[in-house]
Chain A
């Protein structure tokens, strides 16, 4: 399987934050969810991968090409949090701008998407709601035959109905074999719905990069008391967290753990819970 995006050893140092040797890939035809708490390094990773910020070290390969030249950018659609288009423009005027920027701009597809999303072509963007602005940004990203979509917190701040519309559209986009998506979000429930792989970033480092099904179907949480916690084999524990009345222990194979500790309560772990345990738990 080829990769639409490969990031290896990406490093960027700020005064109070370090993006430390971040490596992961987005296989062609898949959706990769980049998760992590606010300030974990998701946007910094995307910004560095897109060449918005200067990286100190590391390699980025996009659609099989090293670096980001004009031809590669033709095939990438990027959506940030917010529309990032001059608000004085209308979608119709934006079409005029974009067809002079992208060689592969597809006017018909753009107006079809505007219609699909019920976006008025003549209305100024400043009169749009946040959801409409986001749909417009996605319409632009999908109107130049993109093969790779990169969305940075694109669904945050949107109501569940619009989020669901957007997720449906992303699933639709990835039906083509050579289409891929990297989507960063701290709304893990969205990623649980659509992602094939999850990359978890914490304090500037990749904690894990795994298929979502492995996390959802195999990972589990042992909920136990102090006595039971003491008898657990410490090599089985990924991270643990002491709560008020119980211990929560993250394990990578819940069925194996259920057999090994029959008296323990082992429950499936959501991505949210896995993230919380990594962030707040101890090793």
Chain B
């Protein structure tokens, strides 16, 4: 899996660099307008676009056909993409934390509560979107999967709102906002794992030509 991951890092390297620099610049820029920690919502989602650059590149070069003939199992091929997605989301989160910590050091009003809240929302949106778009990338052709990729972020927002409203039936969300979004985060993590299992199952039986 290490070799395949390295291949994806090579492919997405320039995109990752642009995203990281943009997030840092945006973080400092946002500090004059609104709370910098809000960047944690956007950062993981923005960082994961590199996964779809690698998926498109794989499709264009027919890499998937080639890699199956190598000592890499179908489970590992799918697993690598999910791991790559998580790694990028975490990288995005860490990158967004840098301006937050720097500004906090210089006295900006950045609390642990807001970091945890926005971080939970950002990671939840990323996991939910990835759980939709990653399996679809192996089910549909590249054009359709790009549409699904864009739609998945809208869908994830809707799902988060839905879960929060549902949680509100049992726990008053306004008074327990951090708990509510941690519930959303846990559900998103389970969703992402289930999605990985489904993608592996689908890909095991898929003809690769």
Which A residues have a C-beta under 8 Å from some C-beta of B? 43, 47, 50-54, 70-71, 73-74, 76, 78, 80, 82-89, 93, 96-103, 150
Is A86 in contact with B6, judged by CB distance below 8 angstroms?
Answer: no
B205 at the interface (CB under 8 A from A): yes
Contact of A50 with B207 at beta-carbon distance under 8 Å, contacts A86-B58, A88-B11, A97-B6 already known: no
Residues of B within 8 A of A99 (CB): 3
Partner of B62, one of A43, A71, A84, A96: A84
- A90 nearest CB neighbor, chain B only: B10
In the complex, besides A71-B71, A93-B10, 7 extra interface pairs with C-beta distance below 8 angstroms are A50-B68, A84-B63, A84-B65, A88-B10, A101-B4, A102-B70, A102-B71
- B53 nearest CB neighbor, chain A only: A88
Residues of B within 8 A of A52 (CB): 65, 68-69, 207-209
* A73 to B68 CA separation, bound complex (whole angstroms): 9
Contact of A87 with B61 at beta-carbon distance under 8 Å, contacts A51-B68, A101-B70 already known: yes
Residues of A within 8 A of B60 (CB): 87
* A82 to B209 CA separation, bound complex (whole angstroms): 13
Is B65 in contact with A86, judged by CB distance below 8 angstroms?
Answer: no
Which B residues have a C-beta under 8 Å from some C-beta of A? 2-4, 6-7, 10-11, 57-58, 60-63, 65-66, 68-73, 205, 207-209
Partner of A76, one of B2, B69, B208: B69
Chain A: minimal CB distance from B161 (Å): 38
Is B69 in contact with A53, judged by CB distance below 8 angstroms?
Answer: no
* A103 to B3 CA separation, bound complex (whole angstroms): 11
Is B6 in contact with A80, judged by CB distance below 8 angstroms?
Answer: no
* A74 to B71 CA separation, bound complex (whole angstroms): 6
Residues of A within 8 A of B10 (CB): 86, 88-89, 93, 96-97
Partner of B57, one of A70, A76, A86, A101: A86
* A173 to B180 CA separation, bound complex (whole angstroms): 64
Residues of A within 8 A of B207 (CB): 47, 52-54
* A54 to B208 CA separation, bound complex (whole angstroms): 9
- B205 nearest CB neighbor, chain A only: A54
Is B209 in contact with A47, judged by CB distance below 8 angstroms?
Answer: yes
Partner of B61, one of A54, A76, A84: A84
* A18 to B66 CA separation, bound complex (whole angstroms): 24
Is A78 in contact with B57, judged by CB distance below 8 angstroms?
Answer: no
Contact of A86 with B205 at beta-carbon distance under 8 Å, contacts A80-B62, A102-B70 already known: no
- A98 nearest CB neighbor, chain B only: B3
- List 3 tightest A-B contacts by C-beta distance, closest first: A100-B3, A101-B3, A84-B66
Is B71 in contact with A73, judged by CB distance below 8 angstroms?
Answer: yes
- A71 nearest CB neighbor, chain B only: B71
- A48 nearest CB neighbor, chain B only: B207
